[in-house]
């Protein structure tokens, strides 16, 4: 279970969005560290709730930006965000109900999804949000 590292190759050249991606990576790393420290740590549920809130805000901001620039794959992109929120909300419910057996699977899903999404689907809109009006 490696920690996530943001690097310049993931930049969409928008400071707000880049910072939010770094924030999502940081919260995920907190989860990994809490899990490594104590599989049953009560902090995991709290951090996961924070991550869920943070992700919702980020997706809202990102989608607003994509709408403004009339990104052609917006609908498809929104669907990916919705699926992620749904899945994380389910994990969150389980963890808060004390089902610590799902934490390992949750962290794997979270790290895979974040890496894949930021390095592919999000990078795909980089040129659209930076086009000269």
- Site residues (CB under 5 A) for Fe ion? 62, 122
Could you give the maximum distance between any two Cα atoms of the chain, in Å?
51
Nearer to Fe ion by Cβ, of 94 and 122: the residue is 122
For 68, counting Cβ atoms within 10 Å of its Cβ (0-12 exposed, 13-18 middle, 19+ buried), the class is exposed
Q: Which is nearer to Fe ion, 74 or 102 (CB)?
A: 74
For residue 24, give the nearest of 90, 79, 81 by alpha carbon: 81
Collapse the DSSP code of 4 into the 3-class scheme (helix H, G, I; strand E, B; otherwise coil) and give the result: coil
- Using CB positions, name the residue nearest to Fe ion: 122
DSSP 2: P
Q: Looking at beta carbons only, is 64 or 131 nearer to Fe ion?
A: 64
Beta carbon nearer to Fe ion, 34 or 62: 62
């Amino acid at each position: 279970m490696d920690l996530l590292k943001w690097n310049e190759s993931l930049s969409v050249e928008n400071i707000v969005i880049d910072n939010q991606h770094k924030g999502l990576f940081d919260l995920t790393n907190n989860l990994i560290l809490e899990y490594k420290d104590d599989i049953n740590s009560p902090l995991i549920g709290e951090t996961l709730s924070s991550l869920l809130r943070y992700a919702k805000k980020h997706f809202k901001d990102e989608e607003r930006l994509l709408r403004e620039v009339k990104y052609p794959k917006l609908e498809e992109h929104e669907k990916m965000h919705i699926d992620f929120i749904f899945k994380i909300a389910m994990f969150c419910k389980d963890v808060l109900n004390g089902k610590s057996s799902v934490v390992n699977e949750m962290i794997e899903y979270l790290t895979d999804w974040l890496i894949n999404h930021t390095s592919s689907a999000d990078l795909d809109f980089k040129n659209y949000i930076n086009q000269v009006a």
